[in-house]
Structure 1
Amino acid sequence: MCRVVDLKQAVLAKNDRAADTLRAELTARGTTVVNLLSSPGSGKTALLERELVLARERSVPVAALTADLATENDAARLARSGVPVKQVLTDGLCHLEAGMLARHVAGWLPDATRLLFVENVGNLVCPASYDLGETLRVVLASVTEGEDKPLKYPTAFGLAHLVVVTKTDLAEAAAFDEAAFRANVERVNPGVEVLLTSARREFGLGALLDRALAAADGAPPHMPVMARQPHGDGHDHAHDRTHDHTDGSGVMAPSRS
């Protein structure tokens, strides 16, 4: 059992080093990474497409990299925005890693890019543990997913700098309890901002872009409550990696180096 934990720690430590290197390299060229995490079907791609269109209209140099297990459907949708887009197929891997992102960015990302939006694999388990060199980490949840989502995935929501609620046009039909959702977010990540959006009705559009630009300008993102946790050795660590990340059923999410 100890060997399994040590291996996981080693994999995450390797990723963190790669993330720090990528963050430094992109920061030096003026590019800020925004990491978007959500469950499948949350409306992440629809919202991102609208935000990319707004960025182009406002003459903000942006690009998007979208990851999925199969198909290039999301890239085709995002490309309609008119900004540089790249699809990454993970071949079954349930998350992106910093080294993977670095390889795909190299030789592709335009030099003038101010914001790079990374649409992570649709999954709130594995991606939560992997730093991609981002400055802003955003977790999205649709009103159809239920108010207890933050409690079921405390690592993902607890490490978010920003929480975005999507598909609010369906809130009444889904009997979505906004107050309960906000209270549950507050339990796992006190003080984090919650944005309400609807890509279909164009409600709340531009808010994500504004937060990303603020982060690019040096505004400190919300410090996630889980970002500093004392370990038994008396030292603070950037992330609490020692606990298992499960999907709520007790089944360990797969990972690989």
Structure 2
Amino acid sequence: MCRTVDLHQAVLAKNDATAHALRAELAGRGTTMVNLLSSPGSGKTALLERELLRARERGVPTAALTADLATENDARRLARSGVPVKQVLTDGLCHLEASMLGRHLEGWLPAATRLLFVENVGNLVCPASYDLGEDLRVVLASVTEGEDKPLKYPTAFGLAHLVVVTKADIAEAVEFDEEAFRAHVEQVNPGVEVVLTSARRGGGVGELLDRALAVADGGAVHEPVMAGQPHEHHHHHDLDDVVMTRPLP
């Protein structure tokens, strides 16, 4: 007799264990991690640069790690804020994993760091499945991406602790229906907060920093309903067709 083991579930279970250990390690040194997820072109880097500048102005010890498939462009932009920044090149991998993140933080993250912002690879599918050990998971969507984005990517939005809308200054020009967007977010993640921002005009800048600091101070974090479900109900099964077989003991 044989039994099959879902390789994808095994990979996720290993990642979850690593993420749990990393979360505990960062908590021990007083660092709160924020994981930022979005599609490419959402304006995530532009907003993060403004948030890092605000953190520096307020004297909050902050660092940022940004992941990209092939370029270091985002790190150069974020470094203009004056906070420690590190680029991770994933060489084609569409997401960060906890073990990868841990290796890059080792020996680099300044000891006094209170907030660590991690800019994940621009993708709303793969990164959604991987816990990095973050304390706050934020999903961003620009007004140009359509009000049904949460319905198209229910795992990403369904596991978010906070949803941020970017490029709000052009919402009227692109006929963005904020009410419909909020309703769709509520459908996949009841009760999650939605914040509107504009990196260009400054609207909402600092809101992300405020939410991160609130978590760092022990404030309550939204608990997504989906987070309490087993992996098979909320993860995209990229590897479901790959299995290992072995004899039963």
TM-score, normalised with respect to structure 2: 0.93
Q: Tell me which amino acid in the other structure corresponds to 1:69.
A: L
Counterparts of 1:35-46 in structure 2 under 5 Å?
35-46=35-46
Instruction: Report what 1:233 is aligned to.
Output: none
Counterparts of 1:84-233 in structure 2 under 5 Å?
84-229=84-229
Q: Aligned to 1:112, what secondary structure does the other structure show?
A: coil
Shift of 1:253: 8.1
Q: Please give the alpha-carbon distance, in whole angstroms, between the structure 1 residues aligned to 2:235 and 2:104.
A: 29
Counterparts of 1:14-53 in structure 2 under 5 Å?
14-53=14-53
Instruction: Report what 2:232 is aligned to.
Output: 241
Instruction: Identify unmatched segments of 5+ residues in structure 1.
Output: 230-236, 247-251
Q: Aligned to 1:241, what secondary structure does the other structure show?
A: helix
Q: Please give the alpha-carbon distance, in whole angstroms, between the structure 1 residues aligned to 2:123 and 2:239.
A: 10
- Of all paired residues, the percent bearing the same amino acid is 79
Q: Please give the alpha-carbon distance, in whole angstroms, between the structure 2 residues aligned to 1:227 and 1:219.
A: 19
Q: Aligned to 1:65, what secondary structure does the other structure show?
A: strand
Q: Please give the alpha-carbon distance, in whole angstroms, between the structure 1 residues aligned to 2:93 and 2:84.
A: 24
In the alignment of these two chains, the number of paired residues is: 239
Relative distance call for 1:244 and 1:163 in structure 2 (3 A) is: closer
What whole-Å deviation, never above 9, does each CA across 1:229-252 have from its counterpart, x for those lacking one?
A: 3xxxxxxx4xx3356627xxxxx4
Q: Please give the alpha-carbon distance, in whole angstroms, between the structure 1 residues aligned to 2:177 and 2:212.
A: 27
Deviates further, 169-178 or 156-165: 169-178
Q: Tell me which amino acid in the other structure corresponds to 1:111.
A: A
What whole-Å deviation, never above 9, does each CA across 1:98-147 have from its counterpart, x for those lacking one?
A: 00000000000000000000000000000001000000000000000000
Q: Aligned to 2:219, what secondary structure does the other structure show?
A: coil
Bigger CA radius of gyration: 2
Q: Aligned to 1:221, what secondary structure does the other structure show?
A: coil
RMSD: 1.6
Relative distance call for 1:87 and 1:138 in structure 2 (3 A) is: same
Q: Is the 8 A contact 1:126 1:253 kept in 2?
A: no
Q: Aligned to 2:131, what secondary structure does the other structure show?
A: coil
Q: Tell me which amino acid in the other structure corresponds to 2:236.
A: H
Q: Tell me which amino acid in the other structure corresponds to 2:105.
A: V
Q: Tell me which amino acid in the other structure corresponds to 1:106.
A: E
Q: Is the 8 A contact 1:31 1:114 kept in 2?
A: yes
Q: Please give the alpha-carbon distance, in whole angstroms, between the structure 2 residues aligned to 1:173 and 1:89.
A: 35
Instruction: Report what 1:9 is aligned to.
Output: 9
TM-score, normalised with respect to structure 1: 0.90
Instruction: Identify unmatched segments of 5+ residues in structure 2.
Output: 243-249
Moved runs in structure 1, 4+ residues, more than 4 A? none
Shift of 1:173: 1.4
Q: Please give the alpha-carbon distance, in whole angstroms, between the structure 1 residues aligned to 2:45 and 2:31.
A: 21
Q: Which has the higher contact order (CA 8 A, sep 6+)?
A: 2
Instruction: Report what 2:65 is aligned to.
Output: 65
Q: Please give the alpha-carbon distance, in whole angstroms, between the structure 1 residues aligned to 2:143 and 2:190.
A: 20
Q: Please give the alpha-carbon distance, in whole angstroms, between the structure 2 residues aligned to 1:139 and 1:197.
A: 13
Q: Please give the alpha-carbon distance, in whole angstroms, between the structure 1 residues aligned to 2:235 and 2:77.
A: 35
